[in-house]
Structure 1
Amino acid sequence: MTLALCLGLAMVLDATFGEPKWLWDRVPHPAVLMGRVVGFLDKTLNVGDQRRLKGVVAMAILAMLALILGNVIATFGGVAEVCVAAVLLAHKSLVDHVRAVGRALRLSRNDARLMVARIVGRDTKDMSGSQIARAAIESAAENFSDGVIAPAVWFLIGGLPGLLLYKFTNTADSMIGYRTERYEEFGWAAARFDDLLNLIPARLTAVLFTLSHGQVNQWRAIATEARLHRSPNAGWPEAALARGLDVALSGPRSYEGQRRDFPYVNETGRKLIGAPEISAACSALWRAWSLSLGFVLILALLCI
């Protein structure tokens, strides 16, 4: 079974069943296990002097573990590869989480704040309806890139070892890749390696959003706005989805009580948005996913 065919089957499996709660209530999710490994390395190595070097060592350990595990699991054959890849993709669960914010916003702003707090790291307690919608759509764009397209790309490039290498790195970045006093040095390697691994997938995600909305003529504007974003990668899917939905994304927000005046992406887009725009973003995710699945299946046919 080729990697492309394995990936196509895994994408369909994930899109059909998502995250089976009955299973993860009984056994830890692989992402949870990865987090425990990162937490152990943080507790063990993130002390004393030369923390940047120790962070590099931590990433080397994670990379070695990912490559060993990936190769071991791959020896069990194509079915095992499909199942593990499906578990590590996160399309249906992403759409479900984003759609839940939209449903909550239709009922109560307070409920929507609680729901959006599950998928974003910014302050949510004083968010307006438009800010809630903007946060949900931004999360949809960024997480489609690093939760669906990036794992798929690295699976195609390196099979399960490549996929696990990406997931370990992304997990590490989400836990220690912050510019805080504790992680400025130790998390440097995780943040930089995650940026590197997401370089191509983020731009590919922007291409998928652009194609699925029939806005190829907007690519130059998307590229310009993406480079204004605070992140070297997240700006690409956000800029493309902002243009596709004709909404303004990014912009001012608050972290730990401190307001950050980030520039808007697609500033001329609509700023007064709500649940309908969240629903439109979910539909956009499915269109981009369908387009990516089509490309994967074509690749699988070419590789027969």
Structure 2
Amino acid sequence: MLLDAAFGEPRWLWSRFPHPAVLMGRLIGWCDATFNAGDQKRAMGVLTMLGLCIGAALLGWAIETLPTSVLDILILAILLAQKSLVQHVRAVADALRLSLGDGRRSVAMIVGRDTRDMDEASVARSAIESAAENLSDGVIAPVFWFAVGGLPGLLIYKITNTADSMIGYKTAKHAEFGWAAAKWDDLLNLIPARLTAILIWATTKRPNLKLIMKEAPMHRSPNAGWPEAAMAHGLDIALSGPRSYGGGIKDYPFVNGEGAHDLGPDNIDAAVDVLWKTWGIALIYAAISAVV
């Protein structure tokens, strides 16, 4: 965690060598092109995820048998995303201070929704939602599964999370083939997402937990709603709400609808501050767990 926070993803390294996440993406892309065909797409998707997870577990186990733990530490540091997440989210605030157009272009790099017609509040809201969700997916969940299952647990989680981001969509092409990836990712994030919400709650003004527990399950995602609801109530801002995907408006309800709606760069900075405070508490727990 300290290595990741200090160095992040150095461009000089990953401009010369493919990042492990990129290699995972290439493998999943090959599986999609090869096996996503025929009348048994869901079954093929299940078998594909089974094969990917078994392969990831065996690779992790093989590396752990080596007479050094340096590789374990380096792989975990590489697969964490605290510093890169902070950099991407803070970049939106910096861009938004320059102009709305710069803010839209910056936030388009970290969200999948339409950004062309966003106002300032929508840009800020999107960045903060991405911060909350990716804190769980990119930091807390990898640390959790490394703690639970060592390198095999970490690699199973990362290959699943990468597969979900690539094929876990309810589109005509991936609704069946990506079903297993989406469901398995939901299961693996079940505990980390709720842990993230608790950590965010602990680092903010400790809003009413009952409100978070009430609104989180209303989110379109079974897991992303937890850190998002905790961030919304912790900063007393309204998140989620209507947004555009593929030119069509999705009328999602607001989380903490009574919170502030007129968001801007300062609210993004406040969310970045929460990212670091949450990371700090997680680091303390990780250190205690390692010692015990």
TM-score by length of 2: 0.99
How many percent identity over aligned positions? 59
1:111 Cα deviation from its structure 2 partner: 0.9
**Structure 2 residue 180 is matched with structure 1 residue 211:** no
The one-letter amino acid paired with 1:264 is: F
1:59-108 Cα deviation digits (max 9, x unpaired)? 01110110111112222321110000000000000000000000000001
Q: Which residue of 1 aligns with 2:260?
A: 270
The one-letter amino acid paired with 1:141 is: A
- Structure 1 gap ranges (5+): 1-10
Structural mapping, 1:154-303, within 5 Å: 154-215=145-206, 218-302=208-292
SS at match of 1:227: helix
Q: Distance in 2 between matches of 1:71 and 1:301?
A: 22
Q: Distance in 2 between matches of 1:25 and 1:72?
A: 27
The one-letter amino acid paired with 1:294 is: I
- Structure 2 gap ranges (5+): none
Q: Distance in 2 between matches of 1:287 and 1:210?
A: 11
SS at match of 2:279: helix
**Structure 2 residue 94 is matched with structure 1 residue 103:** yes
Q: Which residue of 1 aligns with 2:75?
A: 84
SS at match of 1:28: coil
Q: Distance in 1 between matches of 2:198 and 2:134?
A: 15
1:301 Cα deviation from its structure 2 partner: 2.1
SS at match of 2:9: coil
**Structure 2 residue 148 is matched with structure 1 residue 124:** no
1:239-283 Cα deviation digits (max 9, x unpaired)? 001111111000000000000000001110000010000000000
1:135 Cα deviation from its structure 2 partner: 0.2
The one-letter amino acid paired with 2:151 is: L
SS at match of 2:39: coil
TM-score by length of 1: 0.95
The one-letter amino acid paired with 2:159 is: F
The one-letter amino acid paired with 1:172 is: A
1:298 Cα deviation from its structure 2 partner: 1.3
Q: Distance in 1 between matches of 2:205 and 2:238?
A: 19
The one-letter amino acid paired with 2:169 is: Y
Q: Distance in 1 between matches of 2:99 and 2:110?
A: 18
1:218 Cα deviation from its structure 2 partner: 1.1
**Structure 2 residue 55 is matched with structure 1 residue 68:** no
Q: Which residue of 2 aligns with 1:5?
A: none
Q: Distance in 1 between matches of 2:158 and 2:202?
A: 27
Q: Distance in 2 between matches of 1:214 and 1:62?
A: 41
1:20 Cα deviation from its structure 2 partner: 0.7
SS at match of 2:244: strand
Runs of 4+ in structure 1 displaced over 3 angstroms?
none
Q: Which residue of 2 aligns with 1:144?
A: 135
Q: Distance in 1 between matches of 2:49 and 2:288?
A: 35
Q: Which residue of 2 aligns with 1:56?
A: 46
1:195-214 Cα deviation digits (max 9, x unpaired)? 00000000000000001114
The one-letter amino acid paired with 1:266 is: N
CA RMSD of aligned residues (A): 0.7
Q: Distance in 1 between matches of 2:155 and 2:288?
A: 24
Q: Distance in 2 between matches of 1:104 and 1:193?
A: 36
Q: Distance in 2 between matches of 1:25 and 1:299?
A: 35
1:48 Cα deviation from its structure 2 partner: 1.1
1:28-63 Cα deviation digits (max 9, x unpaired)? 000000000000000000011110000001101110
Q: Distance in 1 between matches of 2:25 and 2:290?
A: 33
**Structure 2 residue 106 is matched with structure 1 residue 115:** yes
The one-letter amino acid paired with 1:197 is: L
The one-letter amino acid paired with 1:174 is: S
**Structure 2 residue 10 is matched with structure 1 residue 20:** yes
